[in-house]
Amino acid sequence: MRHRDPAWNPATGAAGAGLPRVAWGKGAFVYDSAGRRYLDGSGGPAVFCLGHGHEEVNAAITRQLERIAHGYRYSFTSDPLEELEALITAAAGPAYGAMVMVSGGSEAVESALKIALQYHSARGEPSRRRFIARRRSWHGNTLGALAVSDFLARRAPFEGALVEASFVPSVNAYRPPAGVAPAALAAHAAAELEAEILALGPARVAAFIFEPVVGAAGGAVPAPPGYAAAVRAVCDRHGVLLIADEVMCGSGRCGSWRALAHDGVEPDLFAIAKGLAGGYLPLGAAVYHRRVAEVIDRVHGGPLTGHTFTGHTAACAAGVAVQTIVRRERLVERVAADGPRLLAALAAELGGIEAVGDIRGRGFFAGIEFVADRATRRPFAPELGLAGRVGRAALAAGLICYPLSGNVDGVQGDAVLIAPPFNATAAELEELVALLGGAVRTALAGLAR
């Protein structure tokens, strides 16, 4: 059976006909119904932190299903829910004992936005309704999360129905504003945020939301040194909450369990999903600081957000199993140690390709940005669809990566994300790098024909 290229648009995330049919997976590998093997080099969209078919996780889910699949959260608590909450607090820090369990990243961000609004209402400041986010950000598919996202292709069909939000420029050391030195970038970007808060009026601003390492909208773009601390100080000066969207970059993906721990910063709220249960069952959480919880609990008795499947018992059991393994096997520490080696290997394989402009990231979250001109950092013309070409060439070679486009300005820009399992072996990482190098060369050769 001939393999067919997937009709997947890296700009919109829309999937069409022609995708292979998944059959099974084990470890870092996925197999389709034709028996073809794929190295899952991106964990789907940075989800599968333990790979596929982990017997311990599967057994934990099975044991829970044999007891009860789900005890409705507003009728019962459960051992898996309470155990997972304890694991999250232990990993995130003692300040983070309050959380709402949901079914995925979009719901986690949506819940964080609602908790922020509820907090300000409980404090007697109901005028604080406006959110500020960054350009070239992606926070999710619900209307609220989409409203604070600057992903043009994914927003366009819904414009006019989105809650109004404000945006400050993206922060990317590879593409700094004209005349801004690298050492001054963090202060410059923090000043832009403060100017926007002052222009709106601090009494109108509820929160600033950002990704510590920008994923699907930027291509693993880390915040520059000092940036997170600087925006934390700006938010504190004006009574604005700081929300970290760690759905993609958190839960250990960047080499610290909280992505912002790398920057020495505690957000008021953060959203997690993806690696929380490793893709074994849908699970996410909006986690918030005790200082936020104290205000909400005192006035309202608890968060006024939740869903039918909040705290889903079997999903929490999956989360407990995944996080227990991550902690026991010290996989976050492994990612922190092996991440620089992965980036170095990518640089060795790809650095000599003229069209590779930047190789960046943290931990097992790496991005490769392609440029038509290295000197000027000019992106390729969007109509060439280079990111999609790389993704298709990789899949044809047996590698799953995450292509994305529009990362420069919403229209221009091509990049791919790499996000292997935390427990990937040295041989698997070596194969990943080699396959990606071949796919990039194949895609670029195709442009010349």
Q: In which band, very low, low, confident or very high, does the pLDDT at 80 lie, cut at 50, 70 and 90?
A: very high
Distance separating alpha carbons of residues 441 and 96, to the nearest angstrom: 46
pLDDT in tens, 6-26: 445 666 666 656 889 999 999
- Look at residue 243 and tell me whether its pLDDT is greater than 70: yes
- Look at residue 217 and tell me whether its pLDDT is greater than 70: yes
Q: In which band, very low, low, confident or very high, does the pLDDT at 360 lie, cut at 50, 70 and 90?
A: very high
Q: What angle do CA 269, 170, 13 make, to 5 degrees?
A: 80
Distance separating alpha carbons of residues 61 and 81, to the nearest angstrom: 13
Which residue has tokens 């993906």? 253
Percentage with pLDDT > 70 across the chain: 96
Closest CA to 166 of 125, 124, 194, 127: 194
Q: In the prediction, which pLDDT does 5 show?
A: 42
pLDDT in tens, 385-413: 999 999 999 999 999 999 999 999 999 99
Average pLDDT over residues 36-43: 98
Q: In the prediction, which pLDDT does 18 show?
A: 81
Distance separating alpha carbons of residues 45 and 57, to the nearest angstrom: 20
Q: In which band, very low, low, confident or very high, does the pLDDT at 123 lie, cut at 50, 70 and 90?
A: very high
Q: Quick one: which H or E segment has residue 367?
A: strand 365-370
Could you give all domains of the chain from N- to C-terminal order, each with its CATH number? 22-53+331-447 (3.90.1150.10), 57-328 (3.40.640.10)
Q: In the prediction, which pLDDT does 97 show?
A: 96
Q: In which band, very low, low, confident or very high, does the pLDDT at 1 lie, cut at 50, 70 and 90?
A: very low
Average pLDDT over residues 330-340: 98
Average pLDDT over residues 126-154: 96
Q: In the prediction, which pLDDT does 320 show?
A: 98
Percentage with pLDDT > 90 across the chain: 95
In terms of Cβ atoms closer than 10 Å to its own Cβ (0-12, 13-18, 19+), residue 17 is: exposed
Contact 400, 394 (CB under 8 A): yes
- Look at residue 188 and tell me whether its pLDDT is greater than 60: yes
Q: In the prediction, which pLDDT does 6 show?
A: 46
Return the CA Rg of the chain: 21
Q: Quick one: which H or E segment has residue 361?
A: strand 356-362
The residues, any chain, with a CB within 8 Å of residue 299's CB and separated by 6 or more, are 122
